Amino acid sequence: MKTFRTTCVAGAIAISGLATAATPSDAQAQAESRARQIVSTLTLDEKTEQLLNGAPAIPRLKIPAYNWWTESLHGAFGPGATTNFPQPIGLAASFNDRLMQDVAASISTEVRAVYALGRGKPNPNKIGGALNTWSPNINIFRDPRWGRGQETYGEDPFLTAQLGKAFVNGMQGPNPTLPQVIASPKHFAVHSGPESTRHSADVWVSAQDLEDTYLPAFRAAIVDAQAGSIMCAYNRVNGEPACASQSLLVKTLRQDWKFNGYVVSDCDAVVDIHAHHKYAPDAPAGVSAALKAGVDNECNGATLSNTPGLGERYKQALARGYLREADIDTALVRLFSARLRNGDLPGLAERSFPAAPAINSPEHRALALRSAIESLVLLKNDGVLPLKAATRIAVVGPLADARRVMRGNYSSGQTGPTLTVADGLRQQFPAAAVTLVPFGPSITDGDPVPASAFVAPDGSPGLRASYFNLEAGSATDVGKRRFQPKAFASHGVTQIDSRAGDFPEAGAVTRTVWTGFFVAPETGSYRLGLAGVKGGLRIAGREVTLAKRPTRWAEPVALTQVDLKQGERHALQFETESGAGAPPGMIWKRVSRQPLADLRAGVQGADAVVAVVGLTSDLEGEEMPVKVEGFSGGDRTTLDLPADQRAYLQAAAQLGKPLVVVNLSGSAIDLSWAQANAAAVLQAWYPGEGGGQAIAQVLSGAANPAGRLPVTFYRSAADLPPFDDYRMAGRTYRFFSKPVVYPFGHGLSYASFRYE
C-alpha cells in the first residue's frame, strides 16, 4: 500500500523546538508537556475558540484548523466512496470480536486516508477528515423501540463490552498512546431514547442497573482498551446532565477509572444544560458546569455554519468567576495532547498516512462482504433453503430492489458498488429466472436516482447548473457549468455536485437552477421527489413536488407518482433557494399501480418467492420528525411491520409457493406471522455495501448462515415496560419472562450439530 508523510509545521515556539521523537513509553508525558507549552502561548480569545469542535487555525503559530466532529460508526465519513460495513447491530450478530477488530482497523485506515486527502483544504468545519472518531456507540439496546438501537451492539452488557473493546483496539491500533485514530465511545453513560425527549429527559437508574448494565461496556472501552476519548450524552442521569455530571465524569471516569483522555459533548448537549435541562440559569453558567465536570471539547452545531462568537460564553463565565483560566488550560492541554499523539500535530513520532487507494480498497470490499455474511441470522428454515441453482425465483416486496436501505444510518455520502437483493440473486443464480415484481407505494420508498438517468441540455451526461443572485429584485447571472451527478446516499438522495468553489462570486448566490432531462430506464410508474434543499422540481413543465428538507433533521421527502416511458426525455428543472454550495437531490422508486395483481402474475411461474420487507433508517434513527403509523420522532411505536407489508405477505403466502421472508431492519420486528406461515425467515439488518451479495449467497447455500440475535425479538411492545422507564426489570433476555418470537442468541445454520 502506498503511503505518504505529512509535513505540517507548527509554530517555532509551540512545536518545532521539540523535535525529538517519542517512544511509546514516554509519548503521553511528552505530549502533555508540549501541549502545555502550546497553551501557554495562546491568548484568551484563541483559547476559548479551541474548546469547540470546529477549532480554528492559529496562523501565528502555524497550527491548522481542526474539526473534532468525525463519524465512523461502520465506515469512514469522506468525500469519496468509503467502505460501508454492516450496521453495528448486524456486526454484533456475528458474535465475532476478531471480525469487529478487523472492521474497525479497516475503517481506521480509511479515516486516515480521508484525513490526508483533506489536509490543508478549505472548509475545516466540514464533518469528517480528523484523526479521531465519535464511535463506537456502546449504549445498551434496552428497548426495541429506540431508533438508534441499530447503532449499538445489542442488549447484553458483556457482548457489548467485548465488541466495544474490539472496535476501540482496531480503530486506535496496537499502541493507544500513539493511536492511529482516537476512538470516542458514546453516549456516556445511560442513554437509549426516546429521541423526542433526549434534550430534556431526566433518567433515574438504580445503583445495581448502573453497575450491572449501563457502565460495564464503557469501563471495558476506557480501562481495558484505553480509548483516548469519550462522549457524554444529552439527557440527565439521576438529576445531573450527563455532560455536567460530577458523579459520572469526575468520580467514575476520572477518579475510579483513571481516565486521562478528553471528553467531548454530544452536539449541543452543553447548550441543553441551560436551555432545556434548566440546570444552569444561562449559557455562561452552562458551559462552566460542563467544563468544571471535565468536558474538554464542546460540539456545537452552530460551528457548521461558521457562527462567530461561540467562545464568548466561556469568557463571560470567566468574568463572572464561574471559571478560572486554569480550568480552560486543563481542557486545552488534553485536546492538544490528543492532536500531538494522533499525528495531527508533529513532534512525537513521524507518522505516515495511507494514500487514496486505501479507501474502499478490494481488501476492504471483501471484508464488507464477509462481515455482511456473518451478520445474517437464519431464524427459520423448513428445508426450502438453500435454494437450488435452477430455481425460478420471484423477488417481491418494497425493499427487493432498494439500495439505500443497505446503508443504515451514519454512513458516508458515497460507497462502493452496492447490489440490491434482486441484483444479488440475479448474480448468484445466473442459470435461473429471477423476476422482480414491483411493490406499491410505500413509506420505505426513496433511492437515489442513478446518474445515468440525467442528460444535460447539450446531450452530454449530467445536468447544467445556473447560479443567480436575486437580491434587490435583480437576477444577476453568476455562472453556468455542467455537472455529473454523484450518489449521495446519507439521506437517500442524489447529489448534484455544485463545485461552488469554482466561482469566486459563489458566496453571493441566492438561487441555483439545475436544468436538463430525466430519462426513465424502463416504462412504468415512478414516485419522484426532491430532497436536501428548499426548492421545486418540474418535469416536462409540470410541478412535481416541493422540497422542504434543508437539513438532516427535517421533514420526510414528499414523493409524487408519475407514469414514464422508457427512453423518453422529460425536461427537468430544480430550482433551489439555497446557495451554490447546497447539494440538491432527486430520489425515486419504481412502483406498481396494482401491486396485488402484479404479485399474482409475477409469482405464477416461480418455484419460490423471496419477499424482502422491513424498515429503513429514514424511519428509525436519530431525532427525526417522522410521524407516520408505527413511527414517531425516529423511534418506533409498535414492533409490527408496516400494515401494507403485512397484508402483502399474507397475499403472497396464499399463492401456494414456498415463501422466504428476508427482513431488513435495525431493530427487533414482530415476525410471529412469518414464523408461523413462511417456509424460511432471514434477518438481514442493514447489511452494508455487501448486503445484496451476502443475502444471495446465504439463500443459495454458497455461504452458511451463522449469525445469532444480539437482541430479543418480542411479540409486542405491550409486553414491555414504558419506553422511558430505564429500570431493567422486564427487559432483555436477562429480565424478561414472557414468551418471545425469537430469543437472544437464536440463529440456525445449514449444518447439523451434535453435542457429546
Phi, psi (degrees; rounded to nearest 5) at 262:
-110, 150
Q: What is the 3-state secondary structure (H, E, C) of 328-369?
A: HHHHHHHHHHHHHHCCCCCCCCCCEEECHHHCCCHHHHHHHH
Mean predicted confidence (pLDDT) in 463-480: 56
Inform me whether the pLDDT recorded for 493 exceeds 50.
no
Active site residue 266: yes
376-440+592-735: CATH topology is: Rossmann fold (3.40.50)
**pLDDT 10s digits, 309-319:** 889 999 999 99
Look at residue 347 in the predicted model and tell me its pLDDT: 83
Is the model's pLDDT at 533 over the cut of 60? no
The residue assigned the cell 458483556 is: 158
How many Cβ atoms from other residues are within 10 Å of residue 337's Cβ?
28
CATH number attached to the domain at 3-358: 3.20.20.300
609 pLDDT above the threshold of 60:
yes
Categorize the per-residue pLDDT at 4 as very low, low, confident or very high, splitting at 50, 70 and 90: very low
- The confidence score (pLDDT) of residue 475 equals 45
What does the pLDDT read at residue 126? 61
CA distance 380 to 388: 18
The pLDDT score that the predictor gives to residue 122 is 57
Delimiting residues of CATH 2.60.120.260 domain(s) in the chain:
447-590
CB-CB neighbours of 409 under 10 Å: 22
Would you state the cell numbers that stand for residue 13, as one nine-digit string?
A: 515556539
| 210 has pLDDT over 60 | yes
pLDDT bucket at 577, cuts 50 / 70 / 90: low
Question: Does residue 79 have a pLDDT over 80?
Answer: no
Q: Could you say which of 620, 635, 644, 670 is catalytic?
A: 620
Q: In this model, does residue 476 exceed pLDDT 70?
A: no
Assess whether pLDDT exceeds 80 at residue 550.
Answer: no
Grid cell for residue 353: 498516512
Q: Which candidate in 143, 266, 423, 670 is catalytic?
A: 266
The stretch 252-273 carries a mean pLDDT of 98
Contact at 8 Å (CB) between 191 and 235? yes
User: Residue 370: enclosing H or E segment and its boundaries?
Assistant: helix 362-375
Is the pLDDT confidence value at 478 over 70? no
The C-alpha cell of 606 is what? 416461480
Antiparallel, parallel or unpaired: β 542-548 and 393-396:
unpaired
Handedness of CA 77, 81, 82, 83 (dihedral sign): positive
On average, the pLDDT of the chain sits at 88
Which amino acid appears at position 497 of this protein? D
- The CATH classification number of 447-590 equals 2.60.120.260
Average pLDDT of the segment spanning 597-611: 97
Per-position DSSP letters for 92-142, written without gaps between them = HTTT-HHHHHHHHHHHHHHHHHHHHHHTT-S-TTSS--SSEE---B-----
For 35-53, write each residue's pLDDT tens digit: 999 999 999 999 999 999 9
- Secondary-structure breakdown of the chain: helix, strand, coil percentages, each rounded to the nearest 5: 35, 20, 45
3-state secondary structure of 67: strand
Instruction: Indicate if the pLDDT at residue 488 is higher than 50.
Output: no
With cut-offs at 50, 70 and 90, classify the pLDDT of residue 454: confident
620 carries an active-site annotation? yes
- Could you tell me the pLDDT band of residue 709, with boundaries at 50, 70 and 90? very high
Residue 68 has pLDDT above 60, yes or no: yes
Query: Distance between CA 688 and CA 368 in Å, rounded?
Result: 7
The pLDDT confidence band at residue 496, using thresholds 50, 70 and 90, is very low
Q: Of residues 472 and 435, which shows the higher confidence score? A: 435
Dihedral sign for Cα 246, 249, 250, 252, please: positive
Locate CATH 3.20.20.300 in the chain: 3-358
Q: CA angle, 697 as apex, 695 and 699 as ends, to 5°? A: 70
Percent above pLDDT 90 for the chain: 70
Give the pLDDT confidence score for residue 301 in this predicted structure: 83
Q: Specify which of 64-68, 220-224, 545-549 reaches the highest per-range mean pLDDT.
A: 220-224
Residues of the chain with CATH 3.40.50.1700: 376-440+592-735
Q: From residue 43, how far is each of 66, 552, 632 by CA, in Å?
A: 18, 36, 47
Confidence of residue 509 (pLDDT cuts 50, 70, 90): low
Range 89-104 average pLDDT: 99
Looking at per-residue pLDDT, the higher value among 463 and 224 belongs to: 224
- Residue 298 DSSP symbol: B
Residue 238 has pLDDT above 90, yes or no: yes
Mean pLDDT throughout 100-120? 93
CA 567 to chain CA centroid, Å, is: 36
Element (H, E) at 560: strand 560-564
C-alpha–C-alpha distance, residues 747 and 743, integer Å: 9
Kind and range of the H or E run holding 50: helix 44-50
Beta-sheet pairing, 585-591 with 434-436 = unpaired
Q: Which of 111-120, 178-187, 224-233 has the lowest mean pLDDT?
A: 111-120
Question: What pLDDT is attached to residue 469?
Answer: 64
Give kind and range of the element (H or E) at residue 265: strand 262-265
Find the range with the poorest average confidence among 480-494, 499-513, 633-647.
480-494
